[in-house]
Amino acid sequence: MPDKQDVKQGTLSLMILTTLEVLGSLHGYGIARRIEETSKNRLALNYGTLYPALLKLEQEGFIAAEWKQSENNRRAKYYALTPAGRKQLARERREWHQTADLIAAFLAPKREA
């Protein structure tokens, strides 16, 4: 199996916001597992990176957190997308597509002039 990749800088918030948009309210471990599943376990998600990113998104008002009982009857902090988070997700998606298009132009086969 190939080595796992690190999460590229600037992409984790997009992955978190997208995960919450698709699945609704989740605790941190559930978010991490979903990101790993979606990447077909190709990403190495460091929990020391995930939780500060969740805190930052919460402080920016893009997600809201609430303590609830988890599936295994433990207290867990659940995160949900806010209306501001939906707008931020749309912005990040748009920016990501623009960046991907730009990079694709450089990676496309060169044509003779």
Which residue segments constitute the domains of the chain, with CATH numbers given? 5-107 (1.10.10.10)
pTM: 0.87
pLDDT of residue 92: 95
Query: At 113, is the pLDDT very low, low, confident or very high (cuts 50, 70, 90)?
Result: low
Average pLDDT for 96-107: 92
Q: Chain-wide mean pLDDT for the chain?
A: 91
pLDDT of residue 2: 58
Q: For 82, phi and psi rounded to 5 degrees? A: -100, 170
pLDDT of residue 51: 94
Task: Answer yes or no: is pLDDT of 85 > 70.
Answer: yes
Print burial letters for 13-50: b (CB count within 10 Å at least 16), e (below 16). Answer: bbbbbbbbeeeeebbbebbbebbeeeeeeebebeeeeb
